[in-house]
Amino acid sequence: MYSMQAIVRRSINNATQQFEKLAYVGNNLANMNTNGYKNVTFEQMLQEDGYLTGAIRADYQQGSIQVTSNPYDVAINGTGFIPVVSPEGQVAYTRDGAFKQGKEGYLVTTDDWIVGEGIKIPTNCYKFEIKPNGEVFAYDAANTAPKKLGTIPLVRFASQENLEQAGMNKLIPTEDSGEPELVIDHECFCQNNLENGNTNIFSSVSDMLRLNASMLASMRMMKVVDDMYNKSINIRE
């Protein structure tokens, strides 16, 4: 049999775990329109002592690819990440291919991180093309031979689920994820496209409603125990 103190402890623990899971569900919904965003779940497990515990999991399933007709946009169709470098030299990895041309002509992210080792696009070029393997070519005019500007690298990790969120839709490696490995032969890039986030709005809303009901049940249980305590005190008095 459980004592009232044990019931309170379990109710508090369960309510806290449900509240934390609710935060991840809310974050997924908030980022459902973020390019390349991957759904994050808080998987719960019931221990033998009746307490809930959990683990954070990232779902790296492919998001839908949307045509944008913007030549700076690049979607990754398959597994992998694009390395980007901050103005301070920090390296991170992203699947958000909403790029632009920076002040010095380099291909950069929306927050001015340089893509790869730096690909400078001539301002006055007729057009530029990003091949499926990441090679970038510029054309000075129609019917002229293209000039290779560089290559957008694609890297993969032994355990991408263990990458750490670094903010602004970027990831950094950990000991568990392993070091990035450059992919040589691939055809994963799609110019004029962006990858949508893979959040499922219907399952997320369903999870939110279920979690809300579970938290209310835990709160009611604590209220019942609190009332029992009050009655016991009154009887003694």
**pLDDT(106) > 60:** yes
Give residue 46's pLDDT.
Answer: 63
Give residue 1's pLDDT.
Answer: 45
Residue at token pair 């809300």 = 212
Cβ distance 31 to 95 under 8 Å?
A: no
Note the pTM of the prediction, 2 decimals: 0.76
Question: What is residue 47's three-state secondary structure?
Answer: coil
For 19-40, the pLDDT digits (tens) are 777 877 888 888 888 888 888 8
For 51-87, the pLDDT digits (tens) are 656 677 788 889 999 999 899 999 999 999 999 999 9
Phi, psi of 80 (to 5 degrees): 140, 175
Q: What count of other Cβ atoms lies within 10 Å of the Cβ of residue 40?
A: 16
Query: What distances in angstroms separate CA 55 from CA 19, 86, 125, one per listed residue?
Result: 14, 30, 50
Question: What is residue 77's three-state secondary structure?
Answer: coil
**pLDDT(112) > 60:** yes
Instruction: Please tell me the distance from the alpha carbon of residue 4 to that of residue 169, in angstroms, as a whole number.
Output: 45
